[in-house]
Amino acid sequence: MEYTHLGRSGLSVSRLCLGTMNFGWKTSEEDSHAIMDRALQEGINFFDTANVYGFDAGKGRTEEVVGSWFAQGGERREKTVLATKVYGGMSDWPNDTFLSARNILRACDASLRRLQTDWIDLYQFHHVDLRTPWEEIWQACETLVGQGKVLYVGSSNHAGWQLAAANEAAARRDFMGLVSEQSIYNLLTRQVELEVLPAARHYGIGVIPWSPLHGGLLAGVLEKQQEGSRRLEGRAKQDVDANRAALERYEAFCREIGHAPADIGLAWLLHQPAVTAPIVGPRTMQQLEGALHSLTVHLDDDQLAALDEIFPGYKAAPMEYAW
């Protein structure tokens, strides 16, 4: 396993991040524990979750599953860089949502109880809150860092100008600010190349892509459809129909160079200089094992150029649209 620093911080994380969103509702607690054990055995030390994960099994359930895994001991907690999130509503009451100082402090304590741990390595804002000032947000985070409950702070689903506003406000308080940003980023969804990635590189913010295979569209969806192992309906069908020509070229390219489409999709992200670690969210052990293969794939300049031709990206703004 290769490791890198999370943004400008001194924290070392694996080049793949284990996403736990399926744990506790799509994946049983027992199977979730087995996947986490295997990930740690393979050197994946970076685990991502959120307080709202659990969905059909109830919000908070995923954190509880991760917590029961930590409770087994064996240095599971000590070896894991744990990331969780705050923002989504945990109840119908108005102050149990968003990024007020009250919600940040109370949500952190609730996550710590569910996770059965004394600290969170990376506490992330799950979405931007345009109605709460950064001064209030950073005041709450400073309290958590001072108490030893949080070590680093990150964001998710923030625009480039919001990353700048956040870290400039933190600098005025002599606070470290954001060290990471989770954004949707994959070969099919590359808008972050305009503003988010340039801002992240400028401020030393590590990028953690979510949905690296665009919901499975970059994992050989056309071949699976032909084999009858993947049924397409609703939005997935619309996405495939809208991108069918590019996906046909992509899957042909993958066959030509002898790698599975999912491996190429993840490997491409690992070749992008702003990317720290794509989030892989397996439902099964087989899916985790598949993701590990991407770490062995090297794409040369010609192959990267071929992928850019199939899925055109963006130059950093303003060069994309100005002289």
Integer distance in angstroms from the first to the last C-alpha of the chain?
A: 42
Q: H or E stretch including 286?
A: helix 285-293
Pull the structure tokens for residue 59. 């919000």
Pair of tokens at residue 132: 């709460």
Residue 221, both tokens: 């969806």
AA letter at 119: W
Between the CA atoms of 96, 98, 102 and 105, what dihedral angle is there, to the nearest 10 degrees? 90
Let me know if 314 is a catalytic residue: no
At residue 40, what is the residue type?
A: L
Q: Are 184 and 192 in contact (CB under 8 A)?
A: yes
The two structure tokens encoding residue 288: 């985790």
> How far apart are alpha carbons 49 and 35 in whole angstroms?
14
Strand boundaries in the chain, DSSP class E: 3-5, 12-14, 17-19, 46-48, 81-86, 120-125, 150-156, 178-184, 206-210, 279-280
Which residue among 3, 53, 250, 314 is the active-site one? 53
Catalytic positions are 53
